[in-house]
Structure 1
């Protein structure tokens, strides 16, 4: 289990003093890339792991650091693995465990470092709830009991029954083979297979869950990064994609690139606005993304999208042309 590996990594550094990423990878039987990720997770959680450059360099713990990490329970150790993203811990229902684990990490610090660490924490803010434009980042609400049941099935390697409400469909029970959990911008996903076919489920749409005693049909080792990339690619290239020809204000081009599946540049008009070809997942995605740009973008084709945006704008204008009702 990856939580056990994190504790093992710290204990290896405690015992040997300094080890290279390659040596840690051999000891833990993982790749050097995985070791570097674990080092980042430890650093984000407040464990003072530092790198020494040079031929005989490697990773080491800050001298005097007292690693009483054996006092962590399972959920607390697991929470440290997602401590690089506070929102990730919340998405998997590990917010409380993360807070508890961090208290134990602070307690493991030498007394001389505790005040410094507390002061440093006050100087860092990661993933605030709003950005500079006051847009609130919303985490999906998932009942703790559902998350706990899903987590248990994933880590125990057992099959899972979920009462799932797919978009536009009535909820129904499904039995799946869970592979892993992923969080993206506050949204959690269960990666699984069902009757041998790949399936991705939004955690917020799981209304109930039940871990089964039957072993899951899945490979013993898994590379979630690769699986997520493959499924993301299939999602982007499937469905009823929409290609749009448009002109956009140069200052909003980056925003368009952040919402569209792909953007290809064309010529720049006499007004300085580039002509672009953008691809969206479907019609709803296209309307939503281009509506955000307001008058800083104009759809040139297809005509149905121009009409849709025009009608929406006309409805808004009509609403504001009426005298406001007084309650």
Structure 2
């Protein structure tokens, strides 16, 4: 426990600069006498901690002192920051860097911890490639050279020139000001602005990319989570969305709601079935969502959707009606 406390003490001084013994004691939940003994132990171990006298005095580390995990390069350190999601590292082209960084982390562990850590890794599996129904997760293919160029422009704050293939359109070159990178359900996105307007680009549709030397026009700080929520809300509110009235078995509710953009109205019929008004991205999205529920759901409106589902069912029945 003392070793953990000594590390915490060093990290506190690195983060906050000069701190008094009283403040350190409060942060570490120990007495000031214990803090003074820990300071002496750090000094004896060669950590350059020194005391400043006076009213505003305290303890501090010599400028420039830092503890490092030897050998980590830029991409490996970045991979560890996004390692909370393996898909995040993969989507941003950092899969190999993550593997390399983790090898160095294991190598840096004390001998007594190394075997325990290796054994623990064998007992945990996060985000396997298939689920219990053997459905394979579909990961988008993004050329490493493309995502590396995008990544460099985002972190350097430079403008980015991309060749982008929008759905149903001929690929075009455009120059954007990159804001940040987002990964959602195995899919990577570039948040940017173009001529001052917000733009969101799917990484798998960027065919080529070139980091430019010109600085990007963007704010110094960005709340990426909030920016993504705002763009998602605008996306759901626009386009060719369709509203559908559905009557369905409540046991399948989550499957429908999980694919819909929004649920506007929800009621329960006398027989226990649900009646919902939900919105979908477009007509194809609505037809797909209702078809996969089979007889556990019925689209009550609009009529074109009922007709589309009936025609599809009739075509399937005709195909399998012959021996």
Task: Mark yes or no: TM-score above 0.5.
Answer: yes
CA offsets, 1:192-234, max 9 Å, x none? 0111110000000001111111111111111111110110110
Partner of 2:101: 101
Question: SS of the counterpart of 2:263?
Answer: strand
Correspondence 1:1-327 to 2 at 5 A: 14=7, 16-17=9-10, 19=12, 56=27, 68-323=68-323
Distance change in 2, residues 1:125/1:14 (3 Å): same
- Separation (CA, whole Å) in 1 of partners of 2:88 and 2:241: 30
8 Å CA contact 1:68–1:108 kept in 2: the answer is no
- Separation (CA, whole Å) in 1 of partners of 2:267 and 2:156: 55
Aligned residues: 275
CA offsets, 1:228-253, max 9 Å, x none? 01101101111122111111111100
- Structure 1: which 5+ runs fail to align? 1-11, 28-54, 59-66
- Separation (CA, whole Å) in 1 of partners of 2:137 and 2:322: 33
Q: Report the Cα offset of residue 284 of structure 1.
A: 1.7
Distance change in 2, residues 1:57/1:258 (3 Å): farther
8 Å CA contact 1:267–1:274 kept in 2: the answer is yes
- Separation (CA, whole Å) in 2 of partners of 1:160 and 1:17: 40
Q: Report the Cα offset of residue 271 of structure 1.
A: 3.3
Task: Give the TM-score of the pair, scaled to structure 1.
Answer: 0.79
8 Å CA contact 2:9–2:28 kept in 1: the answer is no
Partner of 1:48: none
Question: SS of the counterpart of 2:120?
Answer: helix
Q: Report the Cα offset of residue 153 of structure 1.
A: 0.8
8 Å CA contact 1:19–1:57 kept in 2: the answer is no
- Separation (CA, whole Å) in 2 of partners of 1:123 and 1:265: 44
- Structure 2: which 5+ runs fail to align? 18-25, 30-66
Q: Report the Cα offset of residue 56 of structure 1.
A: 4.3
- Separation (CA, whole Å) in 1 of partners of 2:267 and 2:68: 62
Over aligned residue pairs, what C-alpha RMSD do you find?
A: 2.3
- Separation (CA, whole Å) in 2 of partners of 1:113 and 1:92: 31
8 Å CA contact 1:192–1:200 kept in 2: the answer is yes
Question: SS of the counterpart of 2:284?
Answer: helix
Task: Give the TM-score of the pair, scaled to structure 2.
Answer: 0.80
Larger radius of gyration: 2
- Separation (CA, whole Å) in 2 of partners of 1:13 and 1:252: 54
8 Å CA contact 1:13–1:19 kept in 2: the answer is no
Q: Report the Cα offset of residue 266 of structure 1.
A: 3.8
